[in-house]
Structure 1
Amino acid sequence: MTVPAGRWGHSHEEDHDGVEVYRPAGYDFPPARGRAWIAVAPDGTFVELAPGRADVPEPVEGTWVLGSDAGLESAPADARVADVVHAGPDRLELRRRPA
């Protein structure tokens, strides 16, 4: 399943059953302090932006692997792995795998 490119905000208010819900930039989020973001590039790579000083998102270094087990054997040892539960233009759902 392909994740649409763009910037996605963690809509933690909608998380359910171990699934993290993300909404695209421009979504009318309720007020929250320190919302996390994921920036997805057109080639499928992405960067996690975690709340930093003064509540300004700061990039978190690392590698993400999405989807099935295909390719996991070549992933870096410190890779973050998540399964894509749903990917649409207005909602992204990820289930992170334990490290």
Structure 2
Amino acid sequence: MAASSMNPSSLVGSWSHSHEEDAEGIQVFRPVDYDLPPSRGRETFTLRPDGIATAGSPGPDDRGITTGDGVWQLRGDVLHIRCPGWTARYEVISVTRRRLDLRPVHQA
């Protein structure tokens, strides 16, 4: 689904960064139950339908570290995620049930 016709509910779920598939500045995220190859840790985030978000990152001993509850919202085609200790903005390029393509938006 193209970002211009996207319903925010299509972003709801838990997503893992599939860095192996990244290309041309676009980061690929897959559902956490997607069969990804082994990795030394992956960035993850969960977007709930009530606007609550959590984020995860690899820890120093390969166990993940998860943030406390934060918030997310979609403004136009830009996904805003704010969690304790982590903030991100992404342009949503496309989303399907099995793949989310995002381009990081850098703060000016």
The normalised TM-score by structure 1 is: 0.75
Structure 1: segments with no counterpart, 5+ residues: none
Match of 2:104 in 1: 96
Quote how far apart the aligned CAs of 1:53 are.
3.1
Aligned AA (1:37)? T
Aligned AA (1:19)? I
Alignment of 1:29-40 (within 5 A): 29-40=36-47
Q: Is the 8 A contact 2:18 2:30 kept in 1?
A: yes
Q: 1:64 to 1:97 in 2, by over 3 A?
A: farther
Specify which structure has the higher proportion of strand: 2
Match of 1:4 in 2: 11
Alignment of 1:36-47 (within 5 A): 36-47=43-54
Alignment of 1:1-99 (within 5 A): 1=6, 2=8, 3-60=10-67, 64=72, 66-68=74-76, 79-99=87-107
SS of residue in 2 equivalent to 1:54 = coil
Q: What is the identity percentage for the equivalent residue pairs of Structure 1 and Structure 2? A: 37
Per-residue CA shift, 1:51-79, capped at 9, x if unaligned? 11321221246665544378x8xx9xx85
Match of 2:3 in 1: none
Runs of 4+ off more than 3 Å: 60-67
Quote how far apart the aligned CAs of 1:25 are.
1.6
The answer to which of 55-64 and 11-20 deviates more is: 55-64
Provide the alpha-carbon RMSD of the alignment: 2.7
Distance 1:86 1:69 in 2: 10
Q: Is the 8 A contact 2:28 2:99 kept in 1?
A: yes
